[in-house]
Amino acid sequence: MSAKIGVEEIDPFFYSFLRFLIGSLFLMVVVLVAKRYEPRLFKDRIIWGIALVNAIAYNFQHVGISMTTATNAALLVDINAVFVAILAVFILGERLNYRIGLGLGLGLTGVVVVTTGGDLSIVLSGTFLGNMLVFISGILWAFYIVYQKMVLMREVNVLMITAVVMILTTIFLVPMSLPFTSNFSVTDLGMASAVYTGIFCSGLAFILYNAGLMKVGATVSSIILLLEIVFAVIFAYLILSEIPTLPVILGGSLIVLAIAAISLWNNNQLRDPELEVD
């Protein structure tokens, strides 16, 4: 929602650059204060690839959501959970089981119900190009998640890894965003959005996400991320007094049920490492 406001106030390409510049500065301060600076990670080729994919994905998303609805953006990006599951099998060797499959199905069904309100015709709103750009960004993030997991399987410095990805993403955005920016003007509301998304949605959120990704599989993490929509509904009620509709309650319940299914399986795995997962 904040990014949607931002790209309406600032050129989408310039917004991408500002968001990651602010996030990079914030993360470097955190790394230095925590004394976790590790320059060798700047030489990791996989991290460079992750940052490149991240830069392209955010450009596509920010341009895309300026051309389509917030509902479509949320739905099309969250579909990446399917691609994460497929890629994780082939790239990471993760093994799918019926609980994860059930969680994936329930979670995506819940996302569809929440975002469309049961009216699938809403997906036809917005422009085709905008929808496709957001959809492609979701696929790119599937690669981002899987390869980020690969890095976290051999590295332990979550703070520095997150900061390096953020900084390199910003560097890639210089030639990928600034030459295509048609208007460099920034409104107060647009800057507030860039600061908020840079520090909280990119900086802090990426640190927490990467810390969690170290402990769970890529597929499980992508399903848990679907909770973002549930919390959006909760905060909309608490802050904006928006009463959730029946489809929103039903969809949110499906997402929570999906998280419960995979969480119970993970707990069983921790208690019994020999538990069969096929």
* pLDDT averages per 10-residue partition of the chain, 278 residues: 81 93 97 96 96 94 81 73 85 82 83 74 69 87 94 94 97 94 93 94 92 88 79 71 78 81 57 41
Contact between 176 and 57 under an 8 Å Cβ cutoff? The reply is: no
- pLDDT computed for residue 126 by the predictor: 60
The whole model's pTM is what?
A: 0.80
Contact 218, 149 (CB under 8 A): yes
* Residue 30 confidence (pLDDT): 96
Domain spans in the chain, listed from the N-terminal domain onward: 2-271
Write down the pLDDT at residue 276: 39
Cα angle for residues 150, 152, 158 (degrees, 5° grid): 150
| Coil, helix or strand at residue 274 | coil
